[in-house]
Structures are given as structure tokens and as C-alpha cells.
Structure 1
Amino acid sequence: MSNHLNTSDAVDPTARNRRKKWLATGIAGLTGVVSLGLVAATNAGAVSRVDDLGGQQSQRDGSGQNGREGDGDQVLNVTNVPCDVNELFAAINRANQHLGGTLKLARGCTYELRNGTATTGPSTGSNALPPITTDITILGEHSSLERAFDLPSAAPALFRIFQVSPGGNLRLSDTTLRNGLVTGGDDGGAILVQAGARAELNGVKLTQNNAAGGGGVGGAIANLGTTVLKDSSLTLNNAGGSGGAVSNTGTLTVEKTYFEANKTSSIAPNGGGAVASTGGTVQVRESTFVGNQTAGSGGGLQLTAGSGSVTDTTFRLNIATFNGGGIGNTGADLQLRNVKFVQNTAILSGGGLFTSPGTTTTVLRGDAALPTDLVERAEHERSEAGKDERKDDERDAGKDERKVDERESGKGSTAEKSGERKSDKDSSAEKSEKADGRGAGDGGERHDAAKGDQREGGKSHTGRHDGTTDEQEGARQDDKGSELEKRVEEHKGTTFFGNVAGFLGGGIANNGILTLADAVLLRNQAAVSGGGINNITPGTVVIQHSVITENQAGVNGGGIFNAAPAGNVTVDTRSRVFKNNPNNCFPLGATANCQG
């Protein structure tokens, strides 16, 4: 009996029938050297056989060569896919037919996709590749799958790259998905994960994908099932509706993933420049949202229903034309832990965070204690500054008194002589001006200019009592500001730093139920009210062990503005609200532990 392996792509039907017969007979029916060899190979974990996915040779030796990858019991049947779109199409079809498999793409290959196949069902549209209907793993090997850039942006050249159908499970790694395009209400510019389907993306780049049109959601991914994103990046994706990069109505998990410059173009209630979750659950961990933008709410993340949690994540430089430059929570239960809101902008309200009525948002305690030394140092600096001002005032007052005494004592004895000297000076000045052919006004201007030039050239400026110049003092304050920013960045709690709102709530605009613990709100700005926090009926805010300082409002409530009934904002005794402009809390005296 031969131990020959068929390595061609076509499987010989005779060989397949013979293999089935072997299995039915069993190893016990084999005799001779071949039988002993097969048993030994089986015990050693290195049986060679024909691969059902396409007849390629496989070997269970843990080497990852010849179509097999893995070690021990974790062994993958691998089909190597040449750098050819037709070969990839056929390989996916074979994997679907054989109830799963693993495909390895050609290293560094760009698979240029030029045709789509229409599918049935709501929000589906066309796909470049066969829908995933079973358990398929695709190893990218630094390859790219892209819709050809020279195709027109019109049917029939509109298609996404992957669709994962109910019962399907796509594991995709080390791949770039680029330039997918759907429109007319179809969802998911690159990937559509339907209800009952699952996708896991690890080390995947999704860029320049688009779900165009007012109803299109999920510029890169539309998830109705379960999607997991790990160590991936989503950049420059666009949606006409919600979710510039990802839209979610199922279960979405995001871990160590980077979102940058994604965008949605429809106004509220749409939004989510990077991610929009309109149902189900979303969990975000150790990720970054930078420079995303929406014409609606939630420049980085929008939640309109369901629940969400965000941990150890940064929202920086995101923009919302409506509300919530960083996050817009317009209908969900949301938990935040150690989240950094840095320099986000809302044209209306909630530069960092916006919450709607009926929502519950909880900022959980950080992983480390609030840096109270930061507060103590700031209060110490304020106290010292007050002492310095009083010393300066006292010193200036003493100088003025001595000058007055000296002038008064010398007036009687020198008045006559002063009059004579003044007369002589006037006469001499008049003669000099006539000789020079210039007026007194011109001479005065030139004299003052010379003085100004001397001061500017010598960099003397205004001296201070400690010997420093204004310029040196400014540099020292800048250094203090940089150090303060660094300390806030290192704080293992949630921080709102440098966010801006064109109307209300530079840091936070709250209309729901908000709890803050171990939070720092620093240098946020609102054009009207609530530089740090703006609270509106029926909103309630509970602030615990937090710092609100150096925030600014154009009208009132530099720290906190409460437009709800008194008592809807509470500040515990461990919190500090100070040095906000024009006042710390408004209405004045209405919030306990927040004065002035």
C-alpha cells in the first residue's frame, strides 16, 4: 500500500474514496511496516495527510510549514493563498463548503478588488468577497485588501470587502482594509457583521472606507452581532450617518486600538465621529481617539442606547458640531475609569463630555489616590501670592509716605528758588528750540522714544521685589503650568483638561445623573457658563474627592454652574473648587463646599 500524498489543488475522487475506506477499516486492519510506521507517526503527532480544503499537504509537527500551523492540540489547517483575487475568492468558498479553515495570504501582497457581488437582506449591498458563513481565520502577512482606487463612486463599483453572515466567524489579523465604499443606506464600508455573526480583528488597519449617504452607518465597520477589535487602527473613515469608523447595535469590544481623523457628516441625532453605539453594549479599554469629528454629537464616541464602559483611554482634539466633543452620552448607562479628555471641542455644549436627560454616567474611582499634594501646592501658591501682593502694597505705601514727607518739608524753603530755576529753564529751552528749528512737542516725543529704546534694548522691563523681570516671571509660570499639566496627565483617575464649549460646560455639560470620583477638571472653558461643569434641570451631580480649578466661563460659574434646583449639585468636603474665573460656583453660596 502506498503512502503517497496528493499535493495538487484538485482532489482525486478515487483517492478520497480510498481514504474513507482506510478510516472505516481502521489502523488495526493494517499490517506490515507501513502499519507500524503510521501508528508511530500518530503517537509522535506527525501524521501527514491530504488537506480537505484543497488537497494541500499538511503536517502536524507544530512547525507552521507545509500548510500546518500551531503546536500540540492547537493545530490549524492552513491554505496558502497566492497573490491573486480569484484564488482568494475560491479559497473562501472552499472554506465555507468545508465548514471552516485557515487562509494565509501572500506576504506583502495587495489584493486589488474590482468587482462586487450583490447580496440580499437589509443594509447589505454588495461584497467584494464571498460572505463568511462558517469559522474562517485569515492570516494577513502584511497584505492589503482594497477596492481599486480608479473605480467610479457609483454602481456597480460600490462594494464593501467582507460580510460576516449569521453563523459566520471571521478572525482577521495583520491586514489592511482600504477604500471600501457602500451607499444608499447600506452599512459598513469595509465590514458588515450581521446579527448572529462574529468578527475578531487583531492588528488590522482600516482606512479610507466610506458608508456614504445620509443613512449610511459604520464607515469602516457596521456591527449588528459581535465584534472584537485588538491592537488595530481605524483612520480616515467616513459615514454619512453615524459612526465614522464603527457603528454598533450588538456587542462591541475595543482594546488597544487607535482612532484618528474619522468623520460623520449628518447632524444630530446622528454622531460618533469615531464610534457610535445605538444599542447593545460597547467596552473600550486602553485605546486612543484623536482628531475625530462629527456634525452631530460625540466627536469621539456617541452612545444613544444600551450601555458602555471606557477604561484607561484618551480622547484628544475631537470635535462635535453639536454636543460632546469627546463623548456624547445621549441615551445610555456609561461608566468611565481613568479616561483623559484633553482639548476636545463642542460647538454647543460639553467640550469634554455631554450627557442627556435620562442617562446615568459614573466616573469611577481611579487606580490611585487623588494627588492631594497638587491641591495643597496650588493653595499654597495662592496663599504665597497673596502675601507677596500685601508686601508689595505695604512697601509701595511706605515709599509714598516718605516721598510726601520729603516734598512737604522742602516746599517752603525751595519754592522761590524752584520758580527762578524754572524761569531760567524755560528761557533756555525756548532759545534752544528756536536755534534748532523744532517745537517742544517734537522734542518731547523724541526724548520719550529714546527712553523706550533704552528700556527695550536693555531688557530691563519692570523690576520685581525679588530681582526678577516680568519676562522671567512669565517663563517661571509657564514652567509651573507645564509641570501641572504633566501631573494631571499622570493622575490615575479621570481628567478633563483644556476642553472648550461654545455655549455651556467646557469640561462637562450634564442633563442626566452624573457622579464624579477622583476626577480633575483643569483649564476648561465655556463661552457662557460652567467652565468646569454646567448642570441643567433635571440633572444632578455628585462630586467626590475631586479637583476643579483654573476653569473659565464667559459669564458665570467658572468652576460649576447649576441651573437646576439648589441641592442638585453636591460637593463633598474632600473636593476642592478654587481659582476658577469669574467665580467658583454660581449661584453664589448655593453649593456647599464651593464658595466664591
Structure 2
Amino acid sequence: MNHSKLAIRTLGALGAAALTVTGLAATPAAAQTFVPCTTAALATAITNANTSGDTLALAPGCIYTLTTPLPDIQNTIVIKGDGATITRGPAAPAFRILTVDSTGNLDLRDAIIANGDATGDFGGGIRNDGTLTVRRSLIRDNHADFSGGIGGNTGSTTNVEHSLITANSALYNGGGLGNDGTMTIDKSTVVNNNALELGGGVANDGTLNISQSNVYDNSASGPAGAGGGIANFGAAGTTTLTRSKVTSNVATNAPGGVFNNGGSVTLDFTAVLANNPTNCFGSPTAVPGCVA
């Protein structure tokens, strides 16, 4: 799959003059700030938006190549990507792309987040300590010790909708995504991510809900690797999968599909199939309804 050519579907704004019904004019579009195609402009726009909140409209298709970290998100901010990419430059030091503070509420739409590197830390592409919604976006080629693509920290709320999480990696747990708070993954795909220990696709020790989504071709490849698709662990770990598929994931140790240790996993009209070396067998805590 050529992820660089992934089509990011965007929603066009309806101008006030575009539609007139007899005696009734269309509602004007909400105010927003256009961000020119420079990294300095993006950093300044986030800094300004942290004061009172804002909607930032990125330059369509722009590649914002970062050499230093962006300001943390500290207020309610919408970033409308319109197919733009925010990426760490290849020669830049290690840092993640976006950080949402505990006071922050980020709504990221139609964007590509790439090449973040939180080595020694959590959340390579995006770290969320507050509230994060990711819509119709591509999270790829990010790395961290934990939660390579997106990491939701304790007390956070993370929503991923209609998005692709791919080619991310973690030194330990959660190659694609990791969750210590509350996370929802809806109508999304988690594919070709890797962790050396637990949860090549997703690692959870909070509350995780996955619906109408595919988790496939992920791996947990280190000597202690297990749960190539999903790892759920800790007494607080609760994972519910609804109308989803966990297929063709691999791990060094059983199970390759869904690993559960101490928490609860519920499969609701969900298929866990063709994972290697097993689907769920070998988990310290059984996964009800999972075959082999």
C-alpha cells in the first residue's frame, strides 16, 4: 500500500452565498485562521490558539516539515488538515509531532502525522493527556518506547474515527496505539504496526472500545512478544470489540491475535482469525468466545 498517496477525504465548507432559499440565507461559515505552508506559521498559530481556542485551516496538501517541536495544545483547537502533512524532518532530533496537555482539546481532521519519534517516552505521533479526536487522518511511521502512533495517557479521552494507523513502532508496548485512559476506535484500520513486547497493533490497560474496525498484519516481534494484534492487561484493562476483525497478526509467543492478562475482553460480533501462532490461546486470562 502506498500510504503517501492515501486519499484524505475532506468536507468542503458551504459559503454564505452558495445557497439561498426564498427568504432564508445560508448560515455563514465559522471563523477560522488560515495557516500558510511554513512550520513557523504553524507554531505561531498554535501558540495564538492556546490563548482562547481557534480553528486552524492548514494549507491544502502542504508538507509542514518540523525541525523543532510544536507548542503543546493547551486549549480547544480544531486543526483542519485538508490533506496536509505534519512531519518531523529526517535530520531533526527526536521529538513527537503533537502533544495535547491535560487542559487541551484537539480535534484533528483530514491530516497526515508522520515520523514522530518519542524515544524514551510515550506517544510518538501524538501524546494525549487531555481530549483528542482524530478524524479521517493517517498516522504513520512514528516511533516511541510506548504507543508508537497515538498514546492516550491516564485520565485522557481519545477518539479515532475513519482513520488509518500504520507503520508505527514501539520499543515495548503499543506499536500503533496505546491507551491508559479511555479510547474509542471506530471505522478505522490498524495495520502493519510493530511492538517488541505487547500489542503490536493496540495495547490497553484502560478502557478501550473498538467498533467496525480492522486490526490486521501487526506484529509483536521481540523475544517476549505477544498479542500481535491487541494486548489487554492490568486489572483496569477493559477491551470491547464490536463488529470488528482481528486477523493475520503475528507474535513471537502465543497468542498472536488477542493477548489478555488480568483484565477483560469482550468480543461482540467480532472475528479473531488466522493469527499466528494462535488467535487467543495462551493468554494468561481467557478471552471468551475466541477460538484457538
**Is this a same-fold pair by TM over 0.5?**
yes
List aligned pairs for 1:527-566, cutoff 5 A. Answer: 527=222, 528-537=225-234, 538-565=236-263
Match of 1:302 among 106, 109, 127: 127
Match of 2:79 among 229, 254, 261: 254
Whole-Å Cα distance in 2 between the matches of residues 590 and 193 of structure 1? Answer: 45
Structure 1 position 504 matched with structure 2 position 201: no
Change (3 A) 1:173 1:508: closer
List aligned pairs for 1:282-321, cutoff 5 A. Answer: 282-295=106-119, 296-304=121-129, 306-320=130-144
Q: Kindly name which structure, 1 or 2, has the bigger radius of gyration based on alpha carbons.
A: 1
CA deviation digits over 1:333-389, x for unaligned, max 9?
A: 111111111111111110000011xx111123xxxxxxxxxxxxxxxxxxxxxxxxx
Residue matched to 1:326: 149
Report how far residue 293 of structure 1 moved. 1.6
List aligned pairs for 1:447-462, cutoff 5 A. Answer: none
Report if the CA contact (8 A) 2:174-2:200 is conserved. Answer: yes
Residue matched to 2:217: 523
Change (3 A) 1:281 1:348: same
User: SS of the residue aligned with 2:231?
Assistant: strand
Residue matched to 1:350: 174
Amino acid at match of 1:255: K
List aligned pairs for 1:70-469, cutoff 5 A. Answer: 171=33, 173-174=35-36, 176=38, 178=40, 190-191=43-44, 198-199=48-49, 223-232=50-59, 233-238=63-68, 244-256=69-81, 257-261=84-88, 265=94, 273-278=96-101, 279-295=103-119, 296-304=121-129, 306-320=130-144, 322-331=145-154, 332-356=156-180, 359-364=181-186
Report how far residue 192 of structure 1 moved. 7.2
More strand by share: 2
List aligned pairs for 1:2-81, cutoff 5 A. Answer: none
Report if the CA contact (8 A) 2:106-2:133 is conserved. Answer: yes
Whole-Å Cα distance in 2 between the matches of residues 259 and 341 of structure 1? Answer: 15
Report how far residue 564 of structure 1 moved. 1.4
CA deviation digits over 1:454-503, x for unaligned, max 9?
A: xxxxxxxxxxxxxxxxxxxxxxxxxxxxxxxxxxxxxxx21111100011
Match of 2:266 among 552, 567, 570: 570
CA deviation digits over 1:6-33, x for unaligned, max 9?
A: xxxxxxxxxxxxxxxxxxxxxxxxxxxx
CA deviation digits over 1:415-440, x for unaligned, max 9?
A: xxxxxxxxxxxxxxxxxxxxxxxxxx
Whole-Å Cα distance in 1 between the matches of residues 93 and 177 of structure 2? Answer: 18
Runs (4+) off by over 3 Å: 169-178, 262-265, 586-589
Residue matched to 1:585: 280
Change (3 A) 1:250 1:581: same
Greater relative contact order structure (CA < 8 Å, 6+ sep) = 2
Report if the CA contact (8 A) 1:234-1:245 is conserved. Answer: no
User: SS of the residue aligned with 2:162?
Assistant: strand
TM-score normalised by length of structure 2: 0.77
Whole-Å Cα distance in 2 between the matches of residues 324 and 525 of structure 1? Answer: 14
User: SS of the residue aligned with 2:147?
Assistant: coil
Change (3 A) 1:229 1:193: closer
Amino acid at match of 1:543: L
Report how far residue 529 of structure 1 moved. 1.0
Report how far residue 264 of structure 1 moved. 6.7
Structure 1 position 595 matched with structure 2 position 278: no
Amino acid at match of 1:555: N
Q: Say how many residue pairs are matched.
A: 248
Amino acid at match of 2:179: T
Whole-Å Cα distance in 2 between the matches of residues 584 and 224 of structure 1? Answer: 49
Report if the CA contact (8 A) 1:275-1:302 is conserved. Answer: yes
Task: Point out where structure 2 has 5 or more consecutive residues left out of the alignment.
Answer: 1-16, 18-30
Amino acid at match of 1:191: T
More helix by share: 1
Report how far residue 252 of structure 1 moved. 1.7
Residue matched to 1:102: none
Report how far residue 246 of structure 1 moved. 4.0
Q: CA RMSD in A?
A: 2.5
Percent identity for Structure 1 against Structure 2: 28
Report if the CA contact (8 A) 1:225-1:249 is conserved. Answer: no
Change (3 A) 1:582 1:334: same
Report if the CA contact (8 A) 1:346-1:502 is conserved. Answer: yes
Whole-Å Cα distance in 2 between the matches of residues 227 and 560 of structure 1? Answer: 40
Report if the CA contact (8 A) 2:257-2:272 is conserved. Answer: yes
